[in-house]
Structure 1
Amino acid sequence: MTTAIDLDKLDLAALLCSRVCHDVISPVGAIVNGLEVLEDEDDPAMKSFALDLIAKSARQASARLQFARLAFGAAGSAGAQIDTGDAEKVARGFIEDDRTSLTWQLPRVLAPKNKVKLLLNLLVVATSTIPRGGRLSVEENGTGEEGGFRLSTQGSHSRIPPHLVALLAGEAQEGGSLDAHAIQPHYTGLLARATGYGISLAHEGDAVTILVARG
């Protein structure tokens, strides 16, 4: 049995903050560890390792913060537009690594802020369908400002995570509670409804398709 999620605005803000902190705490912690190695070690090889760790982790933390700024932050005043080229840049920094690739097939345009935020959050949702990495692509579903998106993922052990569809629809399992992980798909659903889009998911073989169209 599912029930509609009734979340206080303060709780929503707190959980989104927790999500952002969760995403950046690991690379920031690695930077701290690298600095401790530099302080305590005299071995040149260890110092070189520590410097590489610090540089890699700093880039990762920066990429995650830049992504969060567009995906969760205000990113300008009400009614502002966002360059989808900027969205592509932060998406690649956040998603691409040695396990996951991103194919971006969207035109570069100025799009309404909440529509771009929806797209970025959908990319996070899409990565949850390929827990071991794989290929992710995004393209238009329709054209123009009213058009939506088609996201496709392919990878081993692909899946639609439990409760994902319900969370996107603003529903929770009976007795369930939202945490820093569940808040992101719930927030994605809020953005979809605010912008007038519906979201559908399909899983076939090792591929998952997410279609976003006017509801």
Structure 2
Amino acid sequence: MNDTDQLDLAALLCSRLCHDLLSPVGAMTNGLELLADERDPEMRQRCLELLEQSAKASADKLKFFRLAFGAAGGFGESVPVDEARSVVEALVAGAKRVELNWALAEPRMPKGAVKVLLNFAQMGLDALVRGGTLDVGAESRGGASEIVVRAVGPRIAFDETIGRALEGSLPAGELSSRTAAAHMLSLVARQAGGGLQYMLSADALVLGAVLPEG
């Protein structure tokens, strides 16, 4: 990527962050306005509960963006699996009718692998528009991190433009805030000397990655 492409990608990722935070932050603003005018104790308690929910949703999204897109500098070259797991569990908790199955063999994973795993989990969750099962698995084998995320449900919604971005075949000029994360993952995989792939059917989406370590 040249400098212009890098700036465009950064701008698109920022747009994605702002879009995802707009709803919970807006809900907090509305809640504060209602709380300022409300005098009924029961309604004030309800406003406080909504504020608490919106604050948690905002914090969960920021934790996701920190690990999925940011440097996460406090963790060194690897990230504790428990950190990634808590982020995924928070994402799933905010969804409807989705069951999470978790299978990670390692206590820590390289930062690049964590970025891929978290973004795969988000893509799988987004695909389960009518609920279903989200399976998240990863292990270190033969000097490489192997990651698989599978979303299975009665209806799978996945834009194959995102798949093209994952595979690195989407031109930079066609990127959008919707495909920027997938394009970033393709760059992470390329830098590591690995690869990404996906398989899509009517009731399942499977996302896979092999990322050499070191």
TM-score band by shorter chain is: 0.7 to 0.9
Spell out the pairing of 1:1-215 with structure 2 (5 A cutoff).
8-76=5-73, 80-99=77-96, 100-140=98-138, 143=141, 145-172=143-170, 177-213=174-210
Per the alignment, do residues 86 and 79 of structure 1 end up closer, same or farther by CA in structure 2, a change over 3 Å counting? Answer: closer
Give the superposition deviation at 1:154: 1.2
State the one-letter code of the partner of 2:17. Answer: V
The 2-side partners of 1:92 and 1:183 are apart by 23
Per the alignment, do residues 13 and 204 of structure 1 end up closer, same or farther by CA in structure 2, a change over 3 Å counting? Answer: closer
Query: Conserved in 1, the CA contact under 8 Å of 2:106 and 2:139?
Result: no
TM-score (norm 1): 0.86
How many pairs are equivalent? 211
Give the superposition deviation at 1:91: 1.7
Per the alignment, do residues 150 and 205 of structure 1 end up closer, same or farther by CA in structure 2, a change over 3 Å counting? Answer: same
Identity fraction in percent: 36
5-14 vs 39-48, greater mean Cα deviation: 5-14
Per the alignment, do residues 5 and 78 of structure 1 end up closer, same or farther by CA in structure 2, a change over 3 Å counting? Answer: farther
Greater helix proportion = 2
The 2-side partners of 1:38 and 1:137 are apart by 40
Query: Conserved in 2, the CA contact under 8 Å of 1:128 and 1:161?
Result: no
Give the superposition deviation at 1:173: 6.8
Q: Deviations over 1:185-211 (max 9, x none)?
A: 211222222223322222344122222
Give the superposition deviation at 1:42: 1.6
The 2-side partners of 1:79 and 1:125 are apart by 26
Per the alignment, do residues 96 and 148 of structure 1 end up closer, same or farther by CA in structure 2, a change over 3 Å counting? Answer: same
The 2-side partners of 1:188 and 1:67 are apart by 15
Structure 2 portions without partners, runs of 5+: none
Per the alignment, do residues 44 and 13 of structure 1 end up closer, same or farther by CA in structure 2, a change over 3 Å counting? Answer: same
The 1-side partners of 2:139 and 2:162 are apart by 21
Structure 1 portions without partners, runs of 5+: none
Give the superposition deviation at 1:126: 1.8
Per the alignment, do residues 172 and 165 of structure 1 end up closer, same or farther by CA in structure 2, a change over 3 Å counting? Answer: same
Q: Deviations over 1:118-163 (max 9, x none)?
A: 1111112222322333211112366364141121111221143231
State the one-letter code of the partner of 2:192. Answer: T
TM-score (norm 2): 0.86
Query: Conserved in 1, the CA contact under 8 Å of 2:105 and 2:139?
Result: no
